[in-house]
Structures are given as C-alpha cells and as structure tokens.
Amino acid sequence: MRTLDSDVIVDAVAGMCIHANRYLPEDVQRCFAQCSSKESVPAAREIFRQLTENCTLAARTGLPLCQDTGLACFFVELGQDLHIMGRNIREAINDGVRKGYDEGRLRKSACDPFTRANTGDNTPSVIHFDIVPGDTLRISFMAKGGGSENMSRVTMLAPAEGWEGIRKFVLQRVAEAGPNPCPPIVVGIGIGGTFDYAPVLAKKALLRKLGDRNPDPGLDAREKELLADINKLGIGPMGLGGLTTALDVKMAVSPCHIASLPLAVNIQCHSARHEEVEL
Amino acid sequence: MAEYRMNAPLSDADAEKLRCGDVVFLSGVIYTARDAAHKRLMDLLDQNMELPFDLKGAVIYYVGPSPAPEGRPIGSAGPTTSYRMDSYAPRLHGLGVKASIGKGRRNAEVINALKKFGGVYFGATGGAGALLSMRIAEARVIAFEDLGTEAIRELKVSEFPLLVINDSQGGDLYVTPDRKAVGLE
Ligand code: SF4
C-alpha cells in the first residue's frame, strides 16, 4: 500500500489556490480569442480586450484575476489503496486553502449564513469525495465566485417534459440571469440522479476543457444545440449585446427515479478558474 | 455615445448630462460599500447618526477588494453584482448620492430613483479586477474595519473606465434577451 504525507496535500492545494486565481486556463483564454474575432459589436470586442489584458496584468503583478477569489470547491478521487499519513484528508485540504488564500493574498469570502460573520480563512471548503481503484489521489480545485453561483438553479421536472422541458428551463435561466453572472458564461448542466446529485453533476461538468467533445455523441449534439440557442439570446459579453453569451455548454447525465427528471444549471462566469493535481 | 473625463464627487450637471452608452473615465474620490456596509449605513440613518462620508455627489463602488499585496494600495478590485444593493440605493440617492458602480441589472425602484434624483448607474467590467486595480491610486479604510473586505474604503481613482448603464432619463443599456429567437415566447 502506498502512503502519502498529508503535508504534500496541504502544499499542493495551497499552490493550486494561488495559481488558479492568477492564471486562467489556456483553453479559456483561447476561447476568448476565438469568440472575440467573431464579434462585430464594438462593446463585445472591447470586453474581450479588457479580459485579455486582465489576464496579462494578473500574471505580471500577481494580483488575482478577479477580487472574488471564490469559495473553494473540490472534487477528490481517492485511490482505495492509498494511505494518508498525518491529518485526515478533509483537514489537509482545508489547511491547504488556509495557506493558499493567506499567502496568495486572496479574498476570504466564506461567512456564516445568518450572522454573515466571515470565517476569516475561506474555509470550510466544499469537497466532493469519490473512492476509486488505484493508489493515487487526484484533486480538482475550482474557485467558484458568488455572482455566477447565485444565478444557478435546480428543478425537478416531470418526466413528460423531456428534452424540450430541459431546453426551455436552461434557456430561461440564462435569459433571466442576463448580465449578472459576468457573461460570457459556461453553462454546466446536470440531468438525472436525485435532487442533491444533479447539481453535483452540473458542477463537475464545469471542470471539462472548453471546446472539448462530450464522449457521448448524443450529449455532444445536445451541448452544441444548446450553445447555439443560448448565443441566439444575444445577451453578449457583460450583457452589452453580441454573439457570445456563453463560451460553452457542458452536460452530465445519470439515471434517475422513474417518477423524476432532476435538472441543475450551474452557471460559471468567464473567470473559469480551475486546476487539478495528481499525487 | 459620448466619451467624458469626469471628477468625483459628481456635480448635478455632470450626472444629468450622461446618457446610457456613454463612456466615462472617472477620477477623484469614490467610496466602496457592498452588502454588509450598506446594512450598517441604513442602521446609522435609522438612528439619525452621522455617516462616515459625505453623500453629496458621492459615487459608491460596489466592491469587496482582495487584500493589498506588498507595495500596492489595494488588491484586485472589480465590481460585484448590484441587485443586492437595490433595496438600499433609492434611499441613498434621495440623500445626495449621484452614482453607483457595479455590474448587472437594477430594479425598477432604482431606475426610478435615478430619474427622480438625477443619478446614474455605471457598469465596470466584472471579472477585470486586476485591470481595474491599476486605476486605483490610493485606498484607505474609513469605516467598519471589522468587516474586512466589506469595510468602507475611500479610493482615489484615476481615469477609472466606466460605461453608463442607466441614466437620469430612464435609459437602460443592457440588452433584452431575444426569447422569441429560441421559442420561449
Ligand atoms: S461572477 Fe465571476 S468574474 Fe464576475 S465578479 Fe464574480 S467571480 Fe468575478
């Protein structure tokens, strides 16, 4: 059995928190360039110009890309043959968040829901664990901002509503969100499972690279159809109009109860900050 | 759509001449406040107590900056979503505030308050926190220090890039989504 010191996890998580908040993934930056070149509305091009310059400035100065450096969200795949020494894994991840958010001068945005008192160190983070075969530990980190998270929704459709019901709910949600979640957005869609599981699917789908293909050809076609429809809404970058309301749509599906059709729409802003590490 | 260089605090004449779509490079002194600070400002007003800054002509920036790194006055500092301050904004406009800076839609009460009191709502680019930070020359906490990122700060800004979203004539720059195009209506 392989062993892993929890200090390694702490340092890896701290590093991801800092790095992800300064450097936007390459696929996101590439998508900005591609979408910008298709825009003819001057305001849309200007927003893309500012976002690109913002990436350059964050890299140069070490300032985070956005002041909202997010609630720290994690998807963890723990190999069942791996033994972790020292702290328990949840504590190790939270210690990594404490360290990264402090040393990286990142904003601490976690607070008590009633008193609104800040917890002071951006913990606790939201962690989804999965036990998998093997002896490695894979941790995906997402800095999830409040503005786009607030525009996300979950609903329980009737099975009879089918694809048309799903499609309308997603489009209606994006239309209502309008300029609020910092478009251009990425739309994560979770279909199936239960009331609690659909949003997990939607969030996890947001970890995929922009412009990749869904391995399921049927879902791939539906992602493309929805992306085209979302962009017909014409909201555009920052809600000022244009062709790019969404950069991409990512869908994940799981079987559900014969009586249900759970649907979650998790909206991600253009500052799609995530990173992963394998230990 | 015109382009202006203006100074904050804003005069009545400045605020009234702006139209949605105008670009404004704002210099001078502005104040930060978001959810928690607004709640406290309302409490002070309810108790007839003095506010930490002069509301006359004031420009309020909805922002919770990231901590300042060594050698800089402030961290990343882009706008937060404005609708959360909609319930407070009309009262502040009635007391002299001329403009707010944020991102996202305002409700009908705010749009009416802008008409009634001659104010504007500016949009700054959401998520461009590093870029906007470069236009902030000085930052100083002037109230509610215990709120951390949500404390009220006095900022000296230089050519801070803004777009007029809502003006004093009821204009609104945000696009209405084309629901018909996708069969929603
Ligand atoms: S929605 Fe995203 S880009 Fe916009 S302010 Fe929040 S975290 Fe930043």
| Mean pLDDT along residues A41-69 | 97
Which neighbouring-strand residues pair with A190? A252, A264
Asked whether the ipTM of the predicted complex exceeds the cut of 0.90, the reply is: yes
Domain with B48 in it: 3-166
Give the separation between CA A3 and CA A17, rounded to whole angstroms: 24
Q: Is B37 within the bounds of a domain?
A: yes
Note whether A67 contacts B: Cβ–Cβ < 8 A: yes
Q: Which atom of ligand 1 is nearest to the CA of A69?
A: 7
Rounded to a whole number of angstroms, the distance from the CA of A152 to the nearest CA of chain B is 14
Residue A1 has pLDDT above 90, yes or no: no
A8 pLDDT higher than 90: yes
The whole-angstrom distance between B10's CA and the closest CA on chain A is 25
Contacts 24+ apart (CB under 8 A), A35-43: A35/A184, A35/A243, A35/A244, A35/A247, A36/A244, A38/A243, A38/A244, A39/A236, A39/A237, A39/A242, A39/A243, A39/A244, A41/A236, A41/A240, A41/A241, A41/A242, A41/A243, A43/A236, A43/A237, A43/A238, A43/A240, A43/A241, A43/A242, A43/B163
Asked whether the beta carbons of residue B75 and residue A105 sit closer than 8 angstroms, the reply is yes
What value does the mean pLDDT take over residues A255-262? 98
The CATH number that applies at residue B136 is 3.20.130.10
In a domain, B185, yes or no: no
Concatenated DSSP letters of A185-222? EEEEEEEEE-TTHHHHHHHHHTTSPTT---SSHHHHHH
Q: Which CATH architecture has domain A2-20+65-144?
A: 2-Layer Sandwich (3.30)
What does A79-133 look like in DSSP terms, one character per residue?
ETTEEEESS-HHHHHHHHHHHHHHHTT-----B-TTT--B-SSS-SPEEEEEEES
Number of domains in chain B: 1
Interval B138-167: pLDDT, tens: 999 999 999 999 999 999 999 999 999 999
Give residue-wise pLDDT tens across range B38-77. Answer: 999 999 999 999 999 999 999 999 999 999 999 999 999 9
A128 — pLDDT class (breaks 50, 70, 90): very high
Tell me if B181 is assigned to some domain: no
Average of pLDDT values for A119-127? 97
Query: Is B121 a domain residue?
Result: yes
Give the Å distance between the CA of A269 and the centre of ligand 1: 6
Closest CA to A209 of A268, A150, A125, A129: A268
Region A197-226: mean pLDDT is 97
Q: Is the pLDDT of residue B185 over 90?
A: no
Enclosing H/E stretch for A172: helix A162-177
Query: Is B174 a domain residue?
Result: no
Q: Residue A12 pLDDT > 90, yes or no?
A: yes
In a domain, residue B175? The reply is no
- Of ligand 1's listed atoms, the one at least distance from the Cα of A269 is 2
pLDDT attached to residue A118: 93
Q: Domain map of chain A by residue range? A: 2-20+65-144, 147-273
